[in-house]
Every structure is written in C-alpha cells, then in structure tokens.
Amino acid sequence: MYVRGSKADYEAWQSLGNKDWGWDGMLPYFRKHQTLDAAKKLPKDIRFMPHAAKEKYHGNDGPIHTSFNDYYAPIEEDFVQACYEVGGSENTLHDAYSGDHLGFYSSLAAVDRTKDVGKRSYAATAYLRPNLGRPNLRVLTEALASQIILEGNTAKGVKFLHNGQIHTVNAKKEVILSAGTIQTPQILELSGIGDPEILSKAGVECRVDNNRVGKNFQDHVLGGMMWDLKEGIDGFDSLHGKDFAKIHQEIYEKTGGGMYSSPGMLMGFVSYASIVSPETLEETIKEIRANSLAETEFEKAQEEVHIPLNLACSIITDTARHRLLSSNYRIPPLQIYRHSASQLPLTSRPALTRRSSSRSHQKARTVCPCLCALSILCRVAVCTSSPQTQRNSPVSIPAIFAKLPMPRSSPQPLTGCIRSANARF
C-alpha cells in the first residue's frame, strides 16, 4: 500500500513549530523517492485510479517504484460506485496523492512494473542493493544498538551488542537514529536523553533533559468487514483452488503479472463529520477533550490542532448529509476500549474487545463507524498500546533494557528520527 496523508495534517505539523514539514516542504521529497510506473490497464473511470496530476505530485526517477494493480476484479469498480451511491456523495477525486485522498479508489502499491516486474519495491531493493559494492558500506546483522555516545549534547558514536560483546563505533560525520516508533525513544533514553524522573528509576544518568522523549505515541483503530463472494466471482480466496492458483502462478512466472503481483489495494477514506449530525460531532469533540491523555503543552497543542482536522473535514455535501441522516440505514456503533499503555502488558495490541487485565480498564467509548463498507479509519486517538518487540538475536540483553518502560509515545517528527553528529539535542 502506498498512500500519503492529508495536506492539512502536514500543515498541522508545521504549525506546531516544525519548519518545512508542511505540505509544500514535504512534496519535493515525496516526488524524489518515487517512480510512478505507468498503468497497463486503465479503468473506464480514471478516478478509480486517481493520479490525474502525475506531473505535479508524482516522481518519475526515484528509487521506489509505485504502480496500480495490473489485475483487479470488475467487482472492485462496482464496489466503489456503490460506496458513493450509498453515501449520496459525488466522486470528486482528482489525484489521491495531492493531499486530498478522501473517497473510494484503488490505491498505488509499492510494486515494480518496469525493472523487477511484479516484485515489491522497498528499502532493500531501492537503497541497499544498488550500494552493496561501496567500500564504505558494511551491514552488520544480529547487532543491537544500545547507546549513543555523547560529547556534551553532540552524538559522536554508537555502542552496540554483537555476539554477546559490547562494541563501539565512532562517527566521523553523523549518527542516524532510525529504530522505529518504539525503539527510537528507547535508545535515546538508554543514552541518557529523556525525562530525568523516568531515567533515574531505570538507573540511567540523565545527560540531556527532554521530557518529550517517549511521549505522544499515537495509534489508530482499523476495523474490517468481510464478505463471501457469490460463485463465479473471483477474489483472493479463489487462490485456494489448485487449478486457479496454478493459472496465476504461471502468469506470474511468465509475465510478473496477474493476481500474485496485485495486492489488495481497494480502499476508502471518509470523514467522521460527514456521517454524523453536527450535535453528535460536537459531543464527540467534548468527550475527546474531557478524556484527553495529553500531558505536556506540546501534546495539548497537538491535540487541539488535530481534533478539527481529523473530525471536521467532509467530502459529503450538506444535501447528501441530510439524506444520509434522514435515512433508515444505520450501522450499530463500534465499541472501542480506551487504554493507557501503562495499563497493558507489552504483548498487547490495540483491542476492539474487552480483555482481562490486572488493572481496570477505563470506561468504554462508543465511536460511530463510517458508512464506508471498505474500511474504517476513525483517526481519533481512542486506543494506545505498546506492541511487543521481537528479538531473534541470541545475545544477552542487559537488565537495564528491561527497566525502562515502553514509551507511551513517539517523539514529535523533528525530535525522534534523525540525529546528526553536528546537531545538538
């Protein structure tokens, strides 16, 4: 799946003090990393594959290849049309990668259709493989970064575990920290960068006081609906049939096309505000604010910026809204339980149903799902948890790793992804 966020979301990042992280600042980098492979099969309605402004919003010489499926079932186009008819809305999609992706369509996927035809295009094929011959590149597997070496507020190197021993690498130019949402702040905290109160409890000396590290983790809820297709209508389940699977295996081996090269890309985005009354919308906003988990001033400011963006944007006209609200078509509300990460074990995942715990759960929140039959993307922070970190390395992990709490949040965009040797914390 290859998608971009709403233009308003990036503008919100910039409004919180992150210069050049707005839409105009991000777009050149979206284009730089992308190559849009031309679709071999165009639909009857081009809005089914919305990329009308490809010269403006898409790249043509980047390392990551993106493409629309060369195989899709006719029912997919019918499904999109049905979604608009049920919602009473007009299809206004022009280019789903222009910062406005509200609606229903078949999305781009990170699948190469020109070089490695039918194969996934990702970091290894796009960035690693072309540079494997460089003398200044060494990839070390089964190694676990444990600490950033600091001189004052400047990163000068990294300590890591390999084969049960601690090693040190000094950086001549820069240190790039990119360990994911959970382990990026963990490495910062192990290096003494974070909240002094949390670090002291784990026995880590605070080198740089920054209480935002490990905060502001956000997750979103995704609810799925599934149906059985009638006999004679092909879908991915059809691959369970030996003859059908053999046909598409042969197609893939000969051409790199067919069902095996086409991920499920049909999707839809609907705003919450477009499916509820103004009164319900206002009640929801009040409830979010009343049950807010925001603690720092930044978190509070971020929440106030995102509440109107994530709830109030609408693709359904006022006339269609009244038609929808006056109809008898209703979906029962989805029960979602709100948790604090500190209340859940490290192996837990965002839950849609109540599960047992040694601590009591907070009161359940009722969230009305959108009428989009394809996917539910209620982008309200109603559930937070910490996924389990898997480790395959046989090395022993120092006890200090277990002492640090899993972060409730990831750092804000400019403070948790990349650290340069010349950048000061």
What integer is the mean pLDDT of 224-250?
88
Asked if residues 350 and 307 have their Cβ atoms less than 8 Å apart, the reply is: no
Asked whether the beta carbons of 88 and 324 are under 8 A apart, the reply is yes
Q: CA torsion 356→360→366→371, rounded to 10°?
A: -30
Q: What was the pLDDT predicted at 94?
A: 92
Residue at 178 is within a domain: yes
How far CA 417 is from CA of 180, 347, 391, in Å, comes to 8, 24, 21
User: Among 158-167, 215-224, 396-405, which is the least confidently predicted range?
Assistant: 396-405
Tokens representing 230? 């009638």
Q: Is residue 341 part of a domain?
A: no
pLDDT at 401: 44
Q: How confident is the model over 382-395, as a mean pLDDT?
A: 30
The residue with greater pLDDT, 149 or 39, is 149
* Helix locations, 153-202, DSSP H: 180-190, 196-201
Q: What is the pLDDT of residues 73-100, one digit of tens each?
A: 888 999 999 999 988 888 989 999 999 9
pLDDT at 310: 62
Query: CA-CA distances (angstroms) from residue 84 to 222, 229, 269, 317, 389?
Result: 21, 21, 12, 12, 40
Q: How confident is the model at residue 197 (pLDDT cuts 50, 70, 90)?
A: very high
For all residues of the chain together, what is the average pLDDT? 75
Res. 316: pLDDT tops 80: no
Q: Which residues contact 121 (CB under 8 A, 6 or more apart)?
A: 63, 64, 65, 66, 110, 111, 112
Would 132 be classed as within a structural domain? no
168: CATH: 3.50.50.60
pLDDT of 334 over the 90 cut: no
* Residue at 416 is within a domain: no
Model pLDDT, residue 335: 29
Contacts of 164 (CB under 8 A, 6+ apart): 394, 395, 396
Name the pLDDT band for 231 (thresholds 50, 70, 90). Answer: confident
Contact status, residue 381 vs residue 293, Cβ threshold 8 Å? yes
3-state SS track over 36-89: ECCCCCCCCCHHHCCECCHHHHCCECCCEEEECCCCCCHHHHHHHHHHHHHHCC
Average pLDDT over residues 377-398: 30
- Following DSSP, what letter does each residue of 134-162 receive, concatenated? -TT-----SEEEEEEEEETTEEEEEEEEE
Contact between 60 and 16 under an 8 Å Cβ cutoff? The reply is no
pLDDT band for 210, please (50, 70, 90 cuts): very high
Does the structure show a pLDDT above 60 at 329? Answer: no
Separation CA 397–CA 407 (nearest Å) = 18
Give the confidence band of 407 by pLDDT, cuts at 50, 70, 90.
Answer: very low
Residue 147 pLDDT: 95
For residues 138 and 162, the answer to whether their CB atoms sit within 8 Å is no
pLDDT band at 211, cuts 50/70/90? Answer: confident
Per-residue confidence (pLDDT) for residue 1, from 0 to 100: 86
pLDDT band at 225 (very low <50, low <70, confident <90, very high): confident
Amino acid at the residue 231: E
Q: Does the pLDDT at position 208 exceed 80?
A: yes
Q: State what percent of residues in the chain have pLDDT above 90.
A: 46
Total tally of structural domains belonging to the chain:
1
Is pLDDT at 414 greater than 50 in this prediction?
Answer: no
Asked if pLDDT for residue 237 goes beyond 60, the answer is yes
pLDDT band of residue 39 (cuts 50, 70, 90) is: confident
pLDDT tens-digit profile of 95-108?
999 999 999 999 99
Mean pLDDT is lowest, of 116-120, 246-250, 303-307, for 303-307
423 falls in which pLDDT band (50, 70, 90)?
A: very low
Is 205 a domain residue?
Answer: yes
CB neighbour burial string for 11-47, b if at least 16 within 10 angstroms, e if fewer: bbbbeeebeebbbeebbeebbeebbbbebeeebeeeb
In a domain, 396, yes or no: yes
How crowded is residue 204: how many other Cβ atoms within 10 Å of its Cβ? 20
Residue 175 lies in a domain: yes
**Which distant-in-sequence residues (6+ apart) come within 8 Å of 344 by Cβ?**
357, 385, 386
Q: Which residues, in sequence order, are bridge partners of residue 65? A: 35
Q: Is residue 163 part of a domain?
A: yes
Percent of the residues in the chain that have a pLDDT greater than 70, as a whole number: 72
Q: Which domain holds residue 171?
A: 143-216+389-403
Contact assessment for residue 341 and residue 114, using Cβ atoms and an 8 Å cutoff: no
